[in-house]
Structure 1
Amino acid sequence: MSAPTETTFPAALAALARRFPDQEAVVAPEGRMTFAEFTRRCEELASAFAAAGLRPGDRVGILLPNGLRWLVTMIGAQRAGLVAVPINTWYRSAELAHLLGTAQLRLVVTEEKVFGKDMLAELAAAGYDEVFATGARTDGYLGALLWPAAEQLPPGIENGPAPAQGAGPEDIAMILYTSGSTALPKAVPLEHGKLLRNGHAMGTRMRVGPGDRLWFAMPLFFGYGACNALPVALSHGITLCIEEKVEGDASLAFIERERCTVSYGLATAVRALLAAPSFGTRDISSLRTGPVGFNSEDKRLAIEGLGITEACSAFGLTESYGFVTMTDAHDPLEVKLHTQGTCLPTQHIRIVDKTGAVCAPGASGEIEVRGCVIDGYLGHVEPGDTHSADGWFRTGDLGSIDADGRLAFGGRWKEMLKIKGINVSPLEIEGILGEHAEVDQAYVIGLSTSDGDQEMACVVVPDERRVADEAGLAHRLREYIRDRAASYKVPARVVVMGSHSVPQTHTGKVSKLKLREMLEAAE
């Protein structure tokens, strides 16, 4: 599909409604919508927002599970010239207070209970106990607008004239909050034009287009959904097939029934599908392409295990509007397994050493990016903390670029271990262990020692098809690494753990922070 000329989400959706009015746009827990119906509902909600007194630039929170309502709120708000602010549905009152305060929300669209949690009670505990009522007030925080799942639009709202198209390509489309595992989440402002340009570039690498059907069951409120899967779909005319969460057997049945062709599942989602009792009996052969994980074992599971033969390896972050580099859907398997591909035409990338000098091809250093990248976070983060002196965004990630321009990801800078005064990358050791026949998953972390140094610990989840005593497996794995790497790279501790015991973040990623806390508490 040629690059779209539309530069905002609402304009892109309206163009799809003109071109494919009767094509399914969304399949979700609340039902189905064509592109024409999707556009109409967004127009109606935009009119209601304007009638409620919201004006271009005001911010609206989305506190809903994945589904039709989430998407209509997002694009309906933008159609009225508003800024959408997706909210983590796992947040409790203290986290909600931080977000609502820093985002300066005028309205929160939600329902009484989300995943069994009383949202009105949580908002009240956060200091925001108002419930929206038409005409009650026109300034400040207007309250929580309740939208039950059975309703096409929130009940009790008033329609008004369709607002003028208020947003432009350089206006903020949404504000996403980073996961903030070790600090308060940062607010990431994302512009309409950059979202669509990078979304089109990402979809082009995956070779998707009208008729493709994208499976998505991770939370939409994080970057993987809001600023990756969604702009890819809008810029290529793809049907979004959305579940509220990943559930092995149910998800396999959903993929089979909807004939999904694009997989947007993180490594934990891939493993959940492969471990489901019905795997092998469901026909998921329609799956063809989609992004896959960082390490070679996770990529191999998606490509060979799920049969996603045109999958794309990638590197990116919320601050870069999704991906920065990607392999092509038709690249050789070895390129996909061992690199994150080349730079997208919307992006630039370089590797720098600790002095800021650009590294030679093949040398490792920090990854810096420029192009479709944020200028800075909202709030009080100083530019020097996020950008180099010459304007490149500092990712805090390690990597190298080969002579062909392909990126090899080396892990997070802050996760680098200092073992006996020598830097060790956890990703390197995890890669070695991932090749062992008895290992299903491996996670390397650093534990503080009494002398101020670090010791390396490794948590492994054994292949469930092999039965072995834990002590014997730990010993074999340490010897396996010793035969393949320098002695200082051999973990001091190897802990064998069941897959259900490995803690995860709210986004479905393994939480190394919680793993570290578990091991330190067990000492």
Structure 2
Amino acid sequence: MEMPQARTVSGLLIEQAERYGDIEALVGAGQRYTYASLWQRVRAFAKGLSTLGIGRGSRVAILMGNEPEWIIADLAICTLGGTMVAVNTWVTTRELAYILKHSDADGLVFADRFLKYDYVAMLGEIEPFAENVPRLKTLIHHGARGYGDSIPFDEIFERGRDVPDSVIDDAVAASLPDDIVYLLYTSGSTSTPKGVQIQNYGLIENMWALGNRMHVVPGDRLWLAVSLYWGLGCENALFNLLTHAGCVVLQSAFEPGEALRLIEEERCTLFYGTANMAQAMVEHPDFANRDTSSLRSGGTVGSPDQIARVIQLGAKEICHIYGLTETYGNCNVSDGRLDPPDKRHASVGRPLEGVVQRIVDRDTGEPVRTGEVGEVQVKRFVMCGYYKDEEKNREAYTEDGWFRTGDLGFYDEDGYLYFRGRIKEMIKTGGINVAPAEVEERLMAIPGIKLAYVVGVPDAVRDEVIGAVIIPEPGTTPDQTAISTRLKAELAAYKMPRRYCFIAERDLPLTTTGKVHKTKLPDLFASAD
């Protein structure tokens, strides 16, 4: 394939509609769009939005599950030169009010509900809008119920029916590669969420490189139950497929039986999700009767043992992804087809083409030697800053313009990156720093241990001691004494866990994006006392 020439979202849609018009681009909720019909649909919705005063500089939030309408609204907002604000589907009323106000959202496209969340009721709790979300003027609802004078989603197409083509053509012509098209909010587990500003060109260039690392080709089909609001969804997955003329097959919300059906019936070739999702599918009663052999590649995160679950599902060329929302969702990705087997999943791969990255000593800022752990810093591709937060921007960048990821890692002699945890997760016990990832790696090499998470547990004498949260393999009962004996032969004394907690995987505390909530793991030891 040739890399798309376009460096704007709207330009990419036009180019792909011309080059691959008959190839399917989007499937979900009974709807099917080719690249040609998707652009027509996006263009028609953008015309309708323009009648509501939405255009260049507008900020429109989206709050709904993985529906085709999410993607259509997203691409239409970008086409008009606006900024799409993605809202977590698990949002609370307080968080929704904060994001709508902080983002200066002019409009909101929302579903009436998603799973147990009633968004119509939430909007009622945010009132009065004039005081709590003063910029919010336009509401568009998808579903049976609206709120106030909100406009039904399908009515937007009718409103744009008489809008001349020149309105969209002018908006496309005015779009620039450096325009901010996405505002994605971090989970905010320890403070208020931060608004990550994403530009046109990075969505195309970085995701082109991502798709190449995964060997994506026109006609590939991606199963996607990962939430679109998450960077892994609307950054990585969507633009990986759009730049390579692939098809996104949406699942509104993850359910393993339905996931198996979609993968089989749609002949999905790419998996995007977590190891837990794969495990749930493999363990589902329908797995034995479903054909998932069409799966080939895709992206996931986790330990080699966790990634093995995805391979068991059928994606034998699965790639290991590393990145942050701030680095366009990914900056390092392993090659599940060509990388050496010993590096393919143990590392997170080499930097993608175009990525500028370094590892430095946290104290001196000097580059570290091969094999030495330091902070991962990125200069390209990186967000153009947090929205309306100069203090956090000063903290996030070095004086010479490198983004501080806050992650620890090292390069091997071949340039592969090995992730070694978050700086904030470093444990200081008896005055000595311990990286949790090193201890976790040794624990998960012990037979009978499925997963292990190492955290600092408050201690009156040592400030912190090392605690190990262990998830045993089904049907096994790990022996704490045997575990300690083995670790003593492999770890320095100060790295040894002094507290153990054995739990089932379902009892792990999770964030709203489905990640393990490490800041809550120490609480498990208190409850075990």
Report if TM-score (shorter chain) is over 0.5: yes
The equivalent of 1:76 in structure 2 is 76
Distance (Å, rounded) in 2 between the aligned partners of 1:443 and 1:281: 34
Matches within 5 A, 1:211-222: 211-222=219-230
Q: Which of the numbers 164, 175, 187 marks the counterpart of 2:183? A: 175
2:2 paired residue number: 2
1:338 has 2:339 as partner: no
| CA positional deviation for 1:3 | 0.9
Q: Give yes or no for contact 2:52–2:138 (8 Å, CA) kept in 1.
A: no
**Structure 2 residue 44 is the aligned partner of structure 1 residue 44:** yes
Residue type of the alignment partner of 2:313: L
Q: Which residue of 275, 280, 291 corresponds with 1:283?
A: 291
Aligned match of 1:190 in 192, 195, 198? 198
> Which stretch has the larger CA shift, 162-171 or 61-70?
162-171
Q: Distance in 1 between matches of 2:440 and 2:143?
A: 45
After the TM superposition, which residues 313-324 of structure 1 pair with which residues of structure 2 at under 5 Å, given as runs?
313-324=320-331
Q: Is residue 385 of structure 1 aligned with residue 391 of structure 2?
A: no
Moved more, 202-211 or 238-247: 238-247
Tell me the amino acid that sits aligned with residue 161 of structure 1. P
Q: Which amino acid counterpart does residue 26 of structure 1 have in structure 2?
A: L
| 1:271 matched to 2:317 | no
Residue in structure 1 matched with residue 148 of structure 2 by the alignment? none
Q: Is the Cα–Cα contact under 8 Å of residues 186 and 194 in structure 2 kept in the other structure? A: yes
Q: CA 1:419–1:271 in structure 2 vs 1: closer, same or farther (change >3 Å)?
A: farther
The verdict on how the C-alpha distance between 1:467 and 1:358 changes in structure 2, with shifts beyond 3 A counting, is: closer
SS of residue paired to 2:287: coil
8 Å contact from structure 2 (residues 141, 153) kept in 1: no
Q: Counterpart in 1 of 2:443?
A: 433
CA deviation after TM superposition for structure 1 residue 199, in Å: 0.5
Quote the residue 1:302 is aligned against: 310
2:414 aligns with one of 391, 399, 404 = 404
Q: After superposition, give the CA deviation of every residue in 1:386-433 in whole Å (9 maximum; x if it has no partner).
A: 111111111000011122111111111111111222221111122122
For residues 71 and 257 of structure 2, what CA distance do their matches in structure 1 show? Answer: 25
Contact 2:25 2:34 in 1 (8 A): yes
- The letter of the residue matching 2:319 is C
Q: Secondary structure at the match of 1:175?
A: strand
Retained in 2: the 8 A contact 1:264–1:290? yes
Shift of 1:281: 3.3
Corresponding position of 2:93: 93
Over 3 Å counting, the alpha-carbon distance change for 1:454 and 1:140 in structure 2 is: closer
CA contact under 8 A between 1:446 and 1:457: conserved in structure 2? Answer: yes
Q: Structure 1 residues 404-413 or 377-386, which shifts more? A: 377-386
SS in 2 for 1:122: helix
Between 1:311-320 and 1:142-151, the stretch displaced more is 142-151
* 2:186 alignment partner AA: T
| SS of residue matched to 2:109 | strand
Q: Mark the runs of 5 or more structure 2 residues left unpaired by the alignment.
A: 146-150
Whether the 8 Å CA contact 2:427–2:433 is kept in 1: the answer is: yes
Take 2:271 and 2:193, find their aligned partners in 1: how far apart are those partners? 28
Distance (Å, rounded) in 1 between the aligned partners of 2:188 and 2:283: 30
Q: Cα gap change, 1:174/1:284 in structure 2, threshold over 3 Å: closer, same or farther?
A: same
Deviation at 1:28, TM superposition (A): 1.4
Displacement after TM superposition at 1:261 (Å): 0.8
The answer to which of 510-519 and 382-391 deviates more is 510-519
The Cα of 1:188 is off from its aligned counterpart by 0.2
SS at match of 2:345: helix
Question: Partner of 2:218: helix, strand, or coil?
Answer: coil
Report the equivalent of 1:135.
Answer: none
- Between the aligned partners of 1:360 and 1:380, the Cα distance in structure 2 is 34
Find out whether 1:142 has 2:137 as its counterpart: yes
- The answer to whether residue 231 in structure 2 is matched with residue 223 in structure 1 is yes
How far apart are the structure 1 equivalents of 2:522 and 2:390?
28
Q: Per the alignment, in what secondary structure is the counterpart of residue 322 of structure 1?
A: coil
Partner of 2:480: 474
Q: 3-state DSSP class of the match of 1:448?
A: strand
Match of 1:325 in 2: 332
How far is the alpha carbon of 1:128 from its aligned partner?
5.8
Residue of structure 1 equivalent to 2:211 = 203
Instruction: Name the CA distance, whole Å, in 1 between partners of 2:257 and 2:485.
Output: 38
CA distance in structure 1 between the aligned counterparts of 2:368 and 2:22, rounded to whole angstroms = 52
1:508 paired with 2:503, answer no
Cα deviation code 1:435-466 (max 9, x no counterpart): 222122211111112246111111112111x2
8 Å CA contact retained: 2:108, 2:140: yes
The yes-or-no answer on 1:363 pairing with 2:358 is no
Q: Which runs of 5+ in 1 are unaligned?
A: 131-138
Call closer, same or farther: CA 1:122–1:202 in 2, change over 3 Å: same
Q: 1:293 aligns with which of 301, 308, 317?
A: 301
What amino acid does structure 1 have at the position aligned with 2:245?
A: G
How far did 1:278 drift? 2.8
Identity of aligned residues (%): 34
Partner secondary structure for residue 43 of structure 2: helix
Q: 1:203/1:104 Cα in 2 relative to 1: closer, same or farther (>3 Å)? A: same
Matches of 1:288 and 1:149, distance apart in 2: 38
Instruction: Please give the secondary structure, in 1, of the residue aligned with 2:323.
Output: strand
Residues 140 and 153, structure 2, Cα contact 8 Å, conserved in 1: no
Q: CA deviation at 1:482?
A: 2.2
Q: What is the Cα deviation at residue 273 of structure 1?
A: 2.1
Name the CA distance, whole Å, in 1 between partners of 2:2 and 2:25: 19
Q: Which residue of 2 aligns with 1:312?
A: 319
Asked if the contact 1:9/1:234 (under 8 Å) is kept, the reply is: no
Residues 443-493 of structure 1 show CA distances to partners (whole Å, capped at 9, x for unaligned) of 1111112246111111112111x243xxx6333323332232222222112
Contact 1:196 1:231 in 2 (8 A): yes
SS at match of 1:181: coil
Is 1:30–1:149's contact at 8 Å kept on the other side of the alignment? no
In the alignment, residue 140 of structure 2 is paired with which amino acid?
L
* TM-score (structure 2 length as normaliser): 0.92
Summarize the alignment of residues 98-117 of structure 1 with structure 2, pairs less than 5 Å apart: 98-117=98-117
Distance 1:252 1:474 in 2: 38
Distance (Å, rounded) in 2 between the aligned partners of 1:340 and 1:177: 24
75-84 or 287-296: bigger deviation: 287-296
Cα RMSD between the aligned structures? 2.1
Q: 1:97 offset after TM fit, Å?
A: 1.2
Shift of 1:176: 0.2
Aligned partner of 2:253 in structure 1 is: 245
SS of alignment partner, residue 291 of structure 1: strand
Secondary structure of the residue aligned to 2:515 is: coil
Q: Summarize the Cα distance change of 1:87–1:202 in structure 2 as closer, same or farther, 3 Å threshold.
A: same
Any idea what SS the aligned residue of 1:84 has?
strand
Q: Tell me the SS of whatever aligns to 1:481.
A: helix
Amino acid at match of 2:357: I
